[in-house]
Amino acid sequence: MSQTMRGQVEAYFATLGELGARTLATNQKGESVTLDAAMTWGLDTLQRVRRDRRRVFFIGNGGSAGIASHMATDWMKTGGFSALAFNDGAMLTCLSNDLGYDNVFAVPLAHHAGNNDLLIAISSSGRSANILAGVRAARSVGAQIITLSGFGADNPLRTQGEMNFYVPNSRYGFVEIAHLTICHSLLDLAMGWRANGDEPRYVTQAGMAP
């Protein structure tokens, strides 16, 4: 590897490594929240959701849809949550054809989400009309919202959640990986991961932590 390429690779991974600590959090009033306080709020919310047997929904487009499917599966299998992503191809094409693409998440959320459920809305740009419509639909039935966004600091999604995580970068790869990391960190911390080396308490097939 040439010295020039080595420098590029090292700079890439250094940028990626810094993004977690540079992530900004705000509450629904737009007030800044420290990252540890935002994560604590998230963990308290997850504890309530699981205790009360409420549901967790993930929505996203493109790469964010991949994160949504990945996280819904992990949160169900590993965390024991009732978690779901609305990424079925037939459903998406039906709703977009009949009702417009802006409604592909709003319609299923209006039918499936309920009071005190949790929606995690993921959008790199924070400007996707169908994600914003999904947030409005979830809020109308009493669900709580966590948003994950990036790109412009003035993106509208950043003001829509009880807790909003904003990744200050304009490249899809960096923003998407940071969003995936935030979701994984919430799950791992909820399952007992600690900096002292303790391992997460993964659920058994019966859905209970060992």
- Helix (H) or strand (E) holding 109, with range, is helix 106-112
Nearest to 171 by CA among 152, 185, 184: 152
Q: Which residues contact 97 (CB under 8 A, 6 or more apart)?
A: none
* pLDDT tens column, 154-191: 999 999 999 999 999 999 999 999 999 999 999 999 99
Q: pTM for this one? A: 0.91
Handedness of CA 109, 142, 121, 53 (dihedral sign): negative
Residue-level pLDDT at 2: 74
**Residue ranges per structural domain of the chain:** 21-190
Express each pLDDT in 52-74 by its tens digit.
Answer: 999 999 999 999 999 999 999 99
**pLDDT tens readout for residues 112-157:** 999 999 999 999 999 999 999 999 999 999 999 999 999 999 999 9
The confidence score (pLDDT) of residue 202 equals: 56
**Which of these CATH numbers, 2.40.160.40, 3.40.50.1000, 3.40.50.2000, 3.40.50.10490, describes 21-190?**
3.40.50.10490
- Other beta carbons within 10 angstroms of residue 117's beta carbon come to 22
Q: Which band of pLDDT confidence, cut at 50, 70 and 90, is reported for residue 201? A: low
